[in-house]
Amino acid sequence: MLNAASRDPAAGPRLLLSLLAIALLWPGLHLSELDIGVLLRADNQSEMGRFVSTFWPPAHDEAFVQLLLKATLQTLAIATAGMALALLLAVPAGLLASRALSLSAASRGGRPGPWGMLLRWPVRGLLIFLRSVPEIVWALLFVRAVGLGPAAGVLAIAITYSGMLGKVYAEIFESTDQRPAHALLQAGSGRLASFVYGILPNVASELVSYTVYRWECAIRASVVMGFVGAGGLGQQIDLSIRMFAGGEVASMLLTFLLLVLGADQLSRLLRWRLT
């Protein structure tokens, strides 16, 4: 038997936390109306089996491959253009929302002044608003405004991801050692030069890694937004599913997998070059 000295002193708190997690999870499962038994019903399994069986062989005829290539390029264009527009807002907003280039913080040992907070809090509030609305909702709104097509997806990604990137950029700028930038500011250097020489070299790898990751997320988001008419692979997948063309769906899913793998390898390459 285990004596009192050999017992885990954290066993009680861990047990309480586990019970609390279960108590919080159970109402969530009930409200979400999750019923695993639906997947185990014979008729549902038979229907899913018939549809999945049509995935092989993947469609590869010439006309479909041309359509797939066009949809893939359109998906990449939506994600890349949306990210480019998002960066135009995220970079300056991230600098304004952080204390990294605060003149008052540089002169007061890292403590920001009240006037800087008056500027930073509205910018942070704007970033919160931009990222609080999912891109699929923005896509629905822009489909109404600009019509069906990839333009709605580009604008939706630009708005949502500018809020995400700006928030994380501000945290990255503040998490690094700010003494080089503050020293440059105290020596009379401009804010841009202080950022380029005092902060950017220390955070470049992290910024690139997160930006490429968000670009990968933008690719996935552009596919999802295609289901509401924003173009790209998502719109073609939606059409193929509606026509029960499993081979076409399989080919597009494989293409989507290759896109994500390519984005991951690009992130690794860029991180390796910057380290």
Q: Structural domains in the chain? A: 12-53 (no CATH), 62-274 (1.10.3720.10)
Q: pLDDT tens across 218-231, in order?
A: 888 888 888 887 77
Residue predicted with more confidence, 115 or 16: 16
Residue predicted with more confidence, 39 or 168: 168
Portion of the chain with pLDDT greater than 90, in percent: 9
Kindly tell me if the per-residue pLDDT of 115 is higher than 70: no
**Counting Cβ atoms within 10 Å, is residue 112 exposed (0-12), middle (13-18) or buried (19+)?**
middle
pLDDT at residue 106, as a whole number: 47
Q: pLDDT tens across 231-271, in order?
A: 788 888 888 888 888 888 888 889 888 888 887 788 778 77
The structure's pTM equals 0.76
Task: Residue count of the chain, please give it.
Answer: 275
Tokens of 38: 């639906």
